[in-house]
Amino acid sequence: MKLFIDDANIEAIKELNEYYPIDGVTTNPSILAKAKRDPRETLKEIRDVIGEDKIIFAQAVDLSYEGMIRDAHMIMDLLGKNTVVKLPSTPTGFKAMAALKKDGILTCGTVVYTPMQAYLAAKAGASYVAPYVNRIDNMGYDGVGVVKKIQNILENNGMDCEVLAASFKNSMQVLELAEYGVGNATCAADVIKGFVKNAAIDGAIQDFVNDFEALTGKTSMSELD
């Protein structure tokens, strides 16, 4: 499963990109709004931080068909290769996905709350579909279960489209989908940082250093005479 950062905080992206096996960054207009500056600057800076080989997802904002096409081309001009344009999984979005596929622009059907939205986005030509796990949970449904159903629909119909599961609040939701073979997950920076935040792990690592120091008086192999 590929892992993306669902965030536009540049410092957090720098840190996670340096220390974690990250495949790229996903954004949406609300995430960009949190950065409180020109969204084009934020997106360009994200591209500079992660380099041209990792993927950035950026969302078209305009809700008209013509506007989605314009936004998509503007996003591609801004961010270059390895960019995916997110479009809402609505009838207008489906039309734009089909048109952009003909132009060679990769799209992601986003705002997916139901398997039917995902099926139609995939059929329209989206390369990814983004179901919102935690938001579905909050509606009283089973977010992880909906993602599994979407994965089955894509696989069993041989559709050329991957799941990009989004809206996570904890590592168990992510791991369950990794175990199921879902292709991509995107999580906010604080959720990723929580993946290995565990007192038992920290304690065990410190014990190794303490034991070595008690034996040698040193805290690293390279310090030994």
* Catalytic machinery residues: 86
With CB under 6 A as the rule, give the number of residues binding ligand G3P: 7
Q: How far is the CB of 131 from ligand G3P (least distance, A)?
A: 9
C-beta closer to ligand G3P: residue 167 or 200: 167
SS3 state at 144:
helix
Q: Cβ of 18: how many Cβ atoms within 10 Å?
A: 9
Choices 44-52, 91-99, 116-124, 132-140 (CB under 6 A): range interacting with ligand G3P: 132-140
Tell me if 154 sits within 8 A of 184, measured CB to CB. Answer: no
137 belongs to the binding site for ligand G3P (CB under 6 A): no
Q: How far is the CB of 167 from ligand G3P (least distance, A)?
A: 3
* Length reported for the chain: 225
6 belongs to the binding site for ligand G3P (CB under 6 A): yes
4 belongs to the binding site for ligand G3P (CB under 6 A): no
What's the token pair of residue 25? Answer: 């960054």
134 belongs to the binding site for ligand G3P (CB under 6 A): yes
96 belongs to the binding site for ligand G3P (CB under 6 A): no
Residue of 117, 115, 125, 70 lying closest to 95 (CA atoms): 125
DSSP structure string for 44-102: HHHHHHH-TTSEEEEE----SHHHHHHHHHHHHHHH-SSEEEEEESSHHHHHHHHHHHH
Choices 91-99, 130-138, 152-160, 208-216 (CB under 6 A): range interacting with ligand G3P: 130-138
Residue at shortest CB range from ligand G3P: 167
**C-alpha–C-alpha distance, residues 143 and 157, integer Å:** 21
What residues have CB less than 8 Å from 56, skipping those under 6 apart? Answer: 24, 25, 26, 27, 43, 46, 47, 50, 79, 82, 83, 84
83 belongs to the binding site for ligand G3P (CB under 6 A): no
Binding mask 167-206 for ligand G3P (x = CB under 6 A): x---------------------------------------
Q: Which residues bind ligand G3P (CB under 6 A)?
A: 6, 28, 132, 134-135, 166-167
